[in-house]
Structure 1
Amino acid sequence: MKLERKIYRDGNLHPEAFNCLKLLPESVTYHKDHTERHPFSIYNLSIQRVMLAFKAVIDEVDQVYTALFDATGHLDYRLNKLPDLQKELLHALQSHIDDCYRILKVLHPSIKVQEKYVESWLEKVNHPAYKELRNAINDYRESFAPIVNKIKHSGGQLRSIMMYSRGGGVVARTVEKNIQFFPPNARIVGYFLEGMQPNGRIGPDYEIHPDGKTAISLNRDLRYHFANLYRIGHHLRNAIARTVRHFHRIKLPRPIAVTSTTGQYDIESIAERVSKLPPLFFQNEFSKTTPDIKFYRANGSATLTLETPGSPYITWYGEVIIYSEIQIDGVSLEYQIPYK
């Protein structure tokens, strides 16, 4: 799927649902009957939380990428802030999906159904667009929801990890054109979910990291989540249109430019920074498809293009140092560091 947002055409670089909900006629929403916010308000607050979480993680990653080495040859910067920042991003993304279902709910006439959870409510009332949206985005949700659930319900902890080379030890090669180059500042920052392994060690959770020795690079992960945020927005817009057509027999207005008034984050800056993340991933991610994100400015206007699922990016080989920050629990005697 290829999605494109243009400032001169759309007024902003937010996902499609932003403009759709901003222009939504008041007559097609039942949010007051549900004692809920207006659907645009739900979406705006939700996307705001996600974007602020993206910015916080990218800011911290930039600190790591520009940190200097100390006299002993080690990076003079700790990674202890990243787990909490990444945890907030994952929570914000899962909450955003839940908020999309809340939007479908407030576009449906209020019906007395004894259901605590929004998705169960949508299913019981046979919402005309719920299954369509769920089927379109469930693959993405299930790709990271198990991590969030283990953090929430099983005491799972995120831990940081970094691979880096202080010299010219890393040789990278593009997958498609087989072009070889030498990254001047090869640093790959990531995280893993810590859990108890079958052999009694503490290390990468086996259910999240299949071999119990891998991790997730932020260079790939941030691209993946950012692009899928726009994919969700596309499918939510389609679900809104279907819902409105079902209950009101009308089509949504033609899309027009909507200027974003959000002042807490700069979505253009976030999009540009995600698009420029180094294309260096952990070895187990070489074969995975990665969304292609392109950002450029022309004639004073910005354009963002996202393509999912994308294609494999770059492979590399060479000598690197593996650095990870762990916490000893005082009982477990062995720890499995990723990639060791």
Structure 2
Amino acid sequence: MRITLKIHCEKLSQALPATVFLETQTAIEFHNAERGLRHPTSLYAHSLRTVVEAFNRVLDELDALSQVDARKRLGSIPATALARDTESLIHAVFEHVEHCKSVVLVFAHDLSSKEQGKRIRGFSATAQDARAFAGSQANTIKHSQGSVRLMQMVGDRVVVPGYYIEGVDAEGMISPHPEVHPGGRTAFSFGRALRYLACSVRFVSGALVSSLDAAHRLDDSRIGLGPLAAIFGRLAGFDRYVFPGEGGEVVPSIAVRGSALVIDFPSRDR
């Protein structure tokens, strides 16, 4: 997954690529009902709205948590809400990719089974990296009874909040789940995780358009971040601190430079 975007601030609220494309398809009669699915335009919009709402809850709770004394944060009411809604956000992003896969399937309804499979595999391959970050966490929570546990690193002038997916190690001890956190010795800072999840949603929007019509050229002047604009704006001002174990990992950059928002995934800055 690679994203390099520079969007002028006055255009941030313009629609996402998938929204622009799907709005040109509203006159087409789809067979979505036969698959028990919403119309593709509605399916994508509804899924995206769920993601945005989940992001806003997590960011609001992080703001509330920052007002609590560092020594009391992990046991506070905002921390309890944050752990719950971080899990909801992980699931929302993962399910959003799955919903986009359903959109591809609806578009391919009239094609042969072989061609349908080809379209789905093509989208899945393109979106693989975007899906993997949320997917590894969501599947572990669902199938291995994992749970989101908050943690923080405290320095002289900064507190770095984060979380890990709790599981059981090879000796049966409670620890960061070894399938999500290699060796059970790592965790996700919110500074990295939220940027990663947001970039995943933006990347999948473009990947969906490519999978539906590789020859379709969208007018770049009409494209922005849609309902994600406020999320990316908040993340641009969010702390850039990450945990020591994340220093060698893929770290996205979301920053305002002059009159534009710049998204760089992976970041060339460390």
TM-score (normalised: structure 1): 0.69
Q: CA distance change for structure 1 residues 54 and 105 in 2, over 3 Å: closer, same or farther?
A: same
- Please give the residue correspondences for 1:107-256 in structure 2 after superposition, counting only pairs within 5 Å: 107-110=107-110, 124-127=114-117, 129-165=119-155, 167=156, 185-242=157-214, 251=216, 254=219
The 8 Å contact of residues 13 and 304 in structure 1, kept in 2 or not, is answered as no
State the partner residue of 1:60.
61
| 1:207 partner SS | coil
224 and 206 in structure 1: CA distance in 2 versus 1, 3 angstrom threshold = same
Q: Which has the larger radius of gyration?
A: 1
Q: Gaps (5+ residues) in structure 1?
A: 112-121, 168-184, 246-250, 314-340
**1:236: how far off?**
0.8
Q: Percent identity?
A: 23
1:305 is aligned to: 262
C-alpha change, 1:258 and 1:22, in structure 2 (3 Å) is farther
Rounded Cα–Cα distance in structure 1 between residues aligned with 2:110 and 2:148 = 40
The structural deviation recorded for 1:142 is 2.3
Letter matched to residue 290 of structure 1: V
* Helix, strand or coil at the partner of 1:66: coil
In structure 2, distance between residues paired with 1:23 and 1:279: 38
Note the C-alpha offset of 1:130: 2.4
Contact 1:224 1:290 in 2 (8 A): yes
Query: For 1:59-78, what aligned pairs fall within 5 Å after superposition?
Result: 59-68=60-69, 74-75=72-73, 78=76
Give the equivalent residue in structure 1 for 2:241. Answer: 280
* Aligned-CA RMSD value: 2.9
Q: What SS does the aligned partner of 2:249 have?
A: coil
User: What is the aligned partner in structure 1 of residue 40 from structure 2?
Assistant: 39
Where in structure 2 are there 5+ consecutive unaligned residues?
A: none
The one-letter code matched in structure 2 to 1:62 is D
- Tell me the amino acid that sits aligned with residue 148 of structure 1: A
Distance 1:297 1:241, change over 3 A: farther
Distance 1:199 1:33 in 2: 48
SS for the counterpart of 2:127 is helix
Other-structure match for 2:231: 270
* More deviation, 289-298/189-198: 289-298
Q: Is the 8 A contact 1:50 1:93 kept in 2?
A: yes
Determine if the alignment matches structure 1 residue 18 to structure 2 residue 8: no
Corresponding letter in the other structure for 1:107: F
Alignment partners' CA distance in 1, 2:85 and 2:35? 33
For residues 229 and 224 of structure 2, the distance between their equivalents in structure 1, rounded to whole angstroms, comes to 13
Shift of 1:8: 5.1
- Give 1:2's aligned residue: 4
Give the whole-Å Cα distance in 2 for the aligned partners of 1:258 and 1:192: 35
Kept in 2: contact 1:46–1:96 (CA 8 A): yes
**Per-residue deviation, residues 43-65 of structure 1 (Å, max 9, x unmatched):** 11011001111111111111222
CA deviation vs aligned residue, 1:184-215 (integer Å, no higher than 9, x gap): x4111111111122233211112221121221
Q: Per-residue deviation at 1:290?
A: 1.1
Task: Return the alpha-carbon distance in structure 2 between the equivalents of residues 42 and 55 of structure 1.
Answer: 20
Q: Aligned partners of 1:108, 1:126: CA distance in 2, in Å?
A: 6
Q: How many residues align?
A: 266
For the residue of structure 1 that corresponds to 2:186, the secondary structure is coil
In structure 2, C-alpha distance between the alignment counterparts of 1:217 and 1:196, rounded to whole Å: 21
CA contact (8 A) 1:18 1:40 kept: yes
For 2:248, the aligned partner's letter is S
Q: Which one has a larger percent strand, Structure 1 or Structure 2?
A: 1
